[in-house]
Amino acid sequence: QSVLTQPPSVSAAPGQKVTISCSGSSSNIGSSDVSWYQQLPGTTPKLLIYDNIKRPSGIPDRFSASKSGASATLGITGLQTGDEADYYCGAWDNSLSVFVFGAGTTVTVL
């Protein structure tokens, strides 16, 4: 069972918006910065969001994120078939001195 809680799956039609929640605790998300990773089918994970809200170079602004307290949210607008992937949140846990991932959320474009 993952320390960070994500919904197993979300779906929406092309062009629509989806949001993925990531719930943790005061020892991880509540006191650390959150990152998000995209893993397209059969590929290596890619950093999508870091420092809670920042996008690395090359990541389109259709991807956005926020954090409030011990929870974080990833949003994808203008959904495309190429966005079908697994998405993971992650954060450092200051109490355990370990990194924790969510179990992952599969995004399906209907």
Residues in contact with another protein by CB under 8 A are 2, 31-33, 35, 37, 39, 44-47, 50-51, 56, 86, 88, 90-92, 94, 97-104
Give, as one character, the DSSP assignment of residue 54. B
Q: Which two tokens stand for residue 21?
A: 């929640």
- Least separation in angstroms between residue 19's CB and another protein is 19
Closest to another protein by CB, 80 or 96: 96
Torsion over CA: 87, 9, 72, 79 (sign):
positive
Closest to another protein by CB, 16 or 94: 94
- Least separation in angstroms between residue 36's CB and another protein is 10
- Least separation in angstroms between residue 44's CB and another protein is 5
Contact indicator for 45, 88 with CB cutoff of 8 Å: yes
Closest to another protein by CB, 13 or 104: 104
- Least separation in angstroms between residue 27's CB and another protein is 10
Q: Which residue type, as a one-letter code, is found at position 103?
A: A
Contact indicator for 63, 48 with CB cutoff of 8 Å: yes
C-alpha gyration radius of the chain: 13
